[in-house]
């Protein structure tokens, strides 16, 4: 009986994943798991739709019952006109927003905790006189290396590189690049332990 229930649950998860992938305009991958809500936001059909690529074994977690640290939103992937959002293999994202207006590259085996924001632009110009002119919005690519773990409620700002194997503590504001193999945390995010995991 338990084996039957597990099998039915796996089928249910596959159907849910297929539904959300189709609704988001993504090619379904049978290795993915999309739980509850996930949205992909693209420019309208009259513009270049941008480029989203997601590797095998992707997990998008939007179900509070399966993440008790608190999922406060669905997973949102946003890609602007001519932008690139590449997500590697075996990446897990819990209730977070990733917004690419230029380029965001996420490596393999990356974990992104609940409530994170990863955005490669300022979202709007900073100077009040320029705020009605989106062309003046500053943007710069974000690169996240393999095996990175980004703690819940972290914000990663434009132009940042996070080196492979590094851990970003929960609630951090990452405004400058972080090297490989470190633990970093805080606002602004700073290295608190080097040569971690070596």
Of 141, 92, 177, which is closest to residue 168 (Cα–Cα)?
177
Is 56 annotated as catalytic?
A: no
**SS3 at position 187:** coil
Contact between 17 and 27 under an 8 Å Cβ cutoff? The reply is no
Which residue among 6, 10, 124, 176 is the active-site one? 124
The token duo for 48 is: 């270049």
Distance CA 82, CA 103 (A): 9
Got the DSSP string for 2-52? HHHHHHHHHHHHHHHHHHHHHHTT----TT-EEES-EEEE---TTS---EE
Contact between 185 and 192 under an 8 Å Cβ cutoff? The reply is yes
Ramachandran bin of 169, using left for φ above 0, alpha for ψ from -120 to 50, beta for the remaining angles: beta
Q: Which residues contact 3 (CB under 8 A, 6 or more apart)?
A: none
Of 180, 185, 177, which is closest to residue 195 (Cα–Cα)?
180
Supply the residues annotated as catalytic. 124
């Amino acid at each position: 009986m338990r084996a039957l229930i597990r099998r039915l649950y796996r089928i249910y998860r596959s159907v849910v994943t297929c539904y959300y992938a189709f609704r988001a305009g993504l090619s379904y991958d049978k290795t993915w798991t999309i739980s509850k809500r996930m949205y992909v936001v693209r420019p309208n059909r009259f513009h270049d739709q941008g480029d989203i690529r997601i590797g095998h074994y992707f997990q998008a977690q939007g179900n509070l019952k399966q993440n008790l640290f608190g999922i406060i939103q669905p997973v949102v992937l946003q890609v602007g006109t001519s932008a690139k959002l590449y997500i590697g293999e075996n990446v897990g994202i819990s209730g977070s927003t990733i917004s690419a207006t230029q380029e965001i590259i996420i490596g393999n085996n990356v974990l992104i905790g609940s409530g994170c924001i990863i955005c490669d632009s300022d979202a709007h110009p900073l100077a009040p006189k320029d705020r009605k002119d989106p062309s003046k919005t500053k943007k710069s690519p974000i690169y996240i290396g393999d095996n990175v773990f980004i703690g819940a409620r972290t914000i990663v700002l434009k132009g940042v590189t996070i080196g492979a194997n590094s851990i970003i503590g929960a609630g951090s504001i990452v405004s400058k690049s972080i090297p490989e193999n470190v633990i970093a945390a805080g606002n602004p995010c700073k290295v608190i332990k080097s040569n971690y995991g070596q």
